[in-house]
């Protein structure tokens, strides 16, 4: 076997590895020499679109910068509030501001963008016509930042549209149906930095390899398990404010009428983390409308749309629940404002369909009374 002694002023340990195990520098060499596909290579192979590759390279650069800032936040004095509020009324953290600048600057320098919409900016950023490219990008630069001080996973969420109008960029170029998106994704900053993205050809996963400084493709198309773990994810503190259908659905998850094992509650409070777990393990994520927030809390362009597209591309369902007089597919919405909100209910068919059936039952009852 291979014997390794590691000693430092603070740590001393002896580890014996089985014979033939790669160790130390050998392990690092194996990682470097592994035949892996980088994000840029993957995009060119899959889409053959150099402009989209440039855009994703810019997003990749921004995400690497944010990942580094998140990991050094405590050391660099980036914890805490910036003392301002953003365009949607949320308190802004120092890391929110830094992340916002990193994404905006990277996308501007790519010269393939026409319109940028950020959660942190009150108005869309319209590129000069001479510098404008083909794409319109909406993004939440640091989702879940309210939890950053306690070291909870955060992420960057984005949606990408292709500009279809002629002339200089304008606000209406991005106020489109979710079905018009050409790509969407999120980058999660947790135990690893992971980029999950769809180009409407399924959902792909990339992990940032620190030794290479590259996002590496780690597997085939991501699919929500058909019979995954029984998990429901929501802020149950809002239970009394929800409509009857959501209350009944949650109650049934906790106390199934068919005598099956009850569901487990898992709620991080960072949308990227909760949706990522739902896509990997199955279950349902819900942030429904309530009596206080009748339009929901999540923003359509850079939270609802990208997550809905990812979930649908992974074989799941994404709906608003009852919203503005009917139950709607999230991707069928067309926002009127860049920071407009909507309720979000998404996950595997097994768990979302019972919620939809409850709304159908209510609609049937209403029609019978008429």
Catalytically annotated residues: 90, 96, 119-120, 140, 142-143, 303
What gap in Å lies between CA 283 and CA 275, rounded to an integer?
Answer: 10
Extract the tokens encoding 343. Answer: 């309720």
What gap in Å lies between CA 68 and CA 192, rounded to an integer?
Answer: 12
Cβ atoms within 10 Å, residue 117? 25
**Nearest in space to 62 (alpha carbons), one of 178, 215, 171:** 215
Q: How many residues does the chain have?
A: 370
Three-state secondary structure call for residue 222: coil
Extract the tokens encoding 370. Answer: 């008429």
> Which position has the token pair 């927030």?
293
Backbone angles phi, psi at 150, to 5 degrees: -105, 20
What gap in Å lies between CA 183 and CA 252, rounded to an integer?
Answer: 35
DSSP annotation of 302 = I
Extract the tokens encoding 84. Answer: 């301002």
What gap in Å lies between CA 120 and CA 155, rounded to an integer?
Answer: 15
Extract the tokens encoding 187. Answer: 């980058």
Quickly list H helices, 16-49: 24-33, 39-47
Three-state secondary structure call for residue 339: coil
Three-state secondary structure call for residue 320: strand
Extract the tokens encoding 2. Answer: 């291979």
| Beta bridge pairs of residue 70 | none
Three-state secondary structure call for residue 115: strand
* Cβ atoms of residues 369 and 329 within 8 Å: no
Extract the tokens encoding 185. Answer: 């994704």
Strand (E) or helix (H) holding 181: strand 181-189
């Amino acid at each position: 076997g291979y014997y390794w002694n590691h000693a430092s002023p603070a740590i001393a340990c002896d580890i014996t590895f089985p014979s033939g195990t790669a160790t130390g520098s050998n392990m690092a060499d194996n990682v470097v020499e592994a035949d892996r596909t980088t994000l840029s290579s993957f995009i060119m192979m899959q889409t053959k679109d150099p402009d989209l590759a440039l855009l994703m390279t810019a997003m990749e650069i921004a995400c690497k910068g944010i990942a580094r800032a998140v990991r050094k936040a405590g050391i660099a004095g980036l914890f805490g509030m910036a003392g301002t509020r953003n365009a949607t009324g949320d308190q802004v953290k120092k890391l929110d501001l830094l992340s916002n600048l990193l994404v905006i600057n990277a996308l501007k320098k790519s010269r393939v963008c026409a319109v940028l919409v950020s959660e942190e900016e009150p108005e869309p950023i319209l590129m000069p016509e001479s510098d404008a490219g083909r794409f319109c990008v909406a993004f939440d630069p640091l989702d879940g930042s309210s939890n950053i001080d306690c070291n909870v996973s955060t992420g960057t969420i984005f949606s990408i549209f292709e500009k279809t109008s002629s002339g200089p960029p304008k606000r209406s170029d991005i106020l489109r149906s979710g079905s018009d998106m050409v790509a969407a994704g999120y980058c999660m900053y947790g135990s690893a930095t992971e980029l999950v993205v769809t180009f409407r050809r399924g959902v792909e996963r990339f992990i940032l390899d620190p030794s290479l400084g590259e996002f590496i493709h780690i597997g085939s198309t991501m699919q929500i398990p058909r019979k995954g773990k029984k998990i429901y994810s929501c802020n149950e503190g809002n239970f009394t404010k929800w409509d009857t259908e959501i209350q009944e659905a949650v109650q049934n998850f906790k106390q199934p009428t068919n005598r099956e094992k009850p569901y487990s509650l898992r709620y991080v409070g960072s949308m990227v983390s909760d949706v990522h777990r739902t896509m990997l393990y199955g279950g349902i994520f819900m942030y429904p409308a309530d009596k206080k927030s009748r339009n929901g809390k999540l923003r359509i362009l850079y939270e609802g749309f990208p997550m809905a597209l990812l979930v649908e591309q992974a074989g799941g369902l994404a709906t608003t629940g009852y919203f503005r007089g009917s139950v709607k597919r999230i991707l069928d919405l067309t926002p009127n404002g860049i920071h407009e909100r909507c309720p979000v209910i998404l996950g595997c068919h097994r768990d979302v369909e019972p919620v939809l059936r409850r709304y159908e039952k209510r609609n049937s009852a209403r029609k019978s009374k008429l």
